[in-house]
Structure formats: C-alpha cells, structure tokens
Structure 1
C-alpha cells in the first residue's frame, strides 16, 4: 500500500489525474482494511488483463483467444486508465487471475504500476507475461514478480498460439494447486473433527472415574 499512499499525496501537476485515482484506491483499501481479500470461487471474472497501450495488439489477441475458450475476461479495450478507476478496481477485486503484460512501457507507466500494486494488495493470482524480446523486469516490477513463472509471448510473436497454450497450462496448474490446497485443508479439518470425537468418550470415562473415587 506504500506506493499507492505515496502517489495519493503526489504534488506533480502532470500526474494530478493519477493522484486522484490513487486517492480513490487508497480510500477503498483503508475502508476494507479489516476485511481479508476474498478467496471465493464466485468471482465475476476468471481473468483481468493489465497492459500498456504499446502492447495492445498482442494483448487483444490474447483476450480474443481467452474469450473463445470460454474464459470470463476483463480488459480495458481503450486503455483509458484515468476514466475507469472504479471499473479497474472492481475488475481486480473480482478476478481469479491477473495477467501482468510486462514490458519497458508497462514498467514506466504509473497507471500500470498502480494496477499491478493493487492486484498484489488484493492477493490475486498474478501471472506475468513477457511482451518484448530483450526485456527483463527490474525495479518495482522485478520485485513484484520475483519467484513467479512467466509466459514468454515475445519469443513467438509470429505465432502466439504456442505461448497461449503455455498460458492455459499455467492457469490450469494454478487451479489444480488451489484444488489440492482446498482438499488438504478439508482433510486436516476432518482429522481434527474425528480426533475430537474419539477423545470425547475417554474424557467422559475419566470424569466418571474421578467422580466415583471422591464418593
């Protein structure tokens, strides 16, 4: 939240509209500070795509392929960040996955940085996509995606189908990991419940013995 808080108090007049966006997001984050980010399966969208206008051609192709495969996808088609703060925030909050389309232009964009940080604050499943051949994320973006496996769309620019299949595989793996974690949590919960049930008669017998020994 530090970046959003700093940006909300920005005095640079060239970024006044961005400042108002940050203030809105900061208010929303502070208002919901007592609530945990949702882990519900009832998200309105499966995927939200966060991208720079310079990468719009490939990102729109990815969007079309996802829609064709029946994914529910949110994308700012016109890249009008300043006028869609509420829509962007709601999209992030209500998406299972956020695709961060990494490039130098994305990293340099304050709006893109705001989206990425908000997705991180909401503990979204972030999947980084590499959009440019020689690009390597560093600075704030390098830190945000550190340790995450990214899908390289720059390597197969003439045929993004190869990269797209890798993206679908990555999404599938994330979903499977979540299912496995949920199953493990349920198993642990059942074991605790069964343990409580089996120890109850012992406690009752112990109480009975103590009662008779005092008579």
Structure 2
C-alpha cells in the first residue's frame, strides 16, 4: 500500500510548522481519516513526493503560515493540487498571515479554519471534519505518510509517535 494506491487527505505545510501540523494530523486520524504528508525533511525527489501525495488525495489541506507563503515548494505543491482540481481547504496557522498573493485564487470562496489559537482547537477540528464530510471525503482510519526522498513510507501509530518525539527533541 502506498499513497498511489489509497485515497487520503494530503496535508501541505512548511517544515517550520511540523509540530502544529502533527497535532492536527493526529486529531484527524482520531476521527478516522487517512492522512498523507511529508514526515522527513530530506533531500531527494521533492517533486515526486509532492505529486504522489496529491494525486490520489480526496482533499488537500493548506496549512498557511508566513513560512508557507514564502516557500517556493509549498507554492508548487498547492498549485499542483489546484491544477488537479482537488478539494482545497485552507487552515490558518498564523493569525497575522493573510490569504492573499499566490494562495488567494486557490482559496477564494472557501471556508478557512483557524488553528493559530489552540483554545479553539476542538471547534476547528469539528468544523473541518464537517467540511471534509460535505466534500465526500471517506473516513478510513489507517495511518501512513510519504517521505521526501523515498518512494513510500507506511507507518503504524507507534512509529509515527516515535518520529514525532524525535522531532520534539531536536527543537
């Protein structure tokens, strides 16, 4: 099983926001969604990892922050998702960032979910869940992620949590 074989939700984010994104990822997995995202920051075929993650996704979550908006690779990934006519759902990770510039045409008319204030986290996750259901995204419950620089990564919850703990120690 790889990202090419299974429908999933793709999370597009900037590496600087990994910890926040992992919390969102885990909340969606608890609701039964299959999530695809880059988990390791390596050199390699970034274009391959981006297209594989997007191609069979039923929705793409854009985790927008200043770092996301400034990233050429995030722009490419989001633009590819838009060109493939994927369901794009913006998540705002920074209160001060505007959904303008290259992001604006992709998110125009779409509801944005605020994840910059974690006291409203549950409400944001519940709203996002309802949005995903309305878009026809299926809940499946399996957990896996794609790595940049490798063809696929299939992980179980224990491996993913160990990976998360490793990144927490580095920061």
TM-score for the superposition, normalised by structure 2: 0.71
1:120-160 deviation per Cα after TM superposition (whole angstroms, max 9, x unaligned): 01100000101111211211112221121111111x32452
Q: How many residues align?
A: 134
CA RMSD of aligned residues (A): 2.1
Q: Which has the larger radius of gyration?
A: 1
Cα deviation digits, residues 141-182 of structure 1 (max 9, x gap)? 12221121111111x324522211111011112229xxxxxx
2:11 pairs with 1:49: yes
Partner of 2:159: none
Larger fraction in helix: 1
8 A contact 1:99–1:128 mirrored in 2 = yes
TM-score between both structures, scaled by the size of structure 1:
0.57
- Higher RCO (C-alpha under 8 Å, 6+ residues apart): 2
1:80 and 1:121 map into 2 onto residues whose CA distance is 26
SS in 2 for 1:175: coil
For 1:75 and 1:86, locate their aligned partners in 2 and report how far apart those are by CA, in whole Å. 13
What is the aligned partner in structure 2 of residue 146 from structure 1?
Answer: 108
Query: Runs of 4+ in structure 1 displaced over 6 angstroms?
Result: none
> Any stretches of 5+ residues in structure 1 without a counterpart?
1-41, 177-215
Label 1:43 to 1:121 Cα distance change in 2 as closer, same or farther (>3 A). Answer: farther
Gaps of 5+ in 2: 138-171
Q: Give the Cα separation in 1 of the matches to 2:33 and 2:53.
A: 14
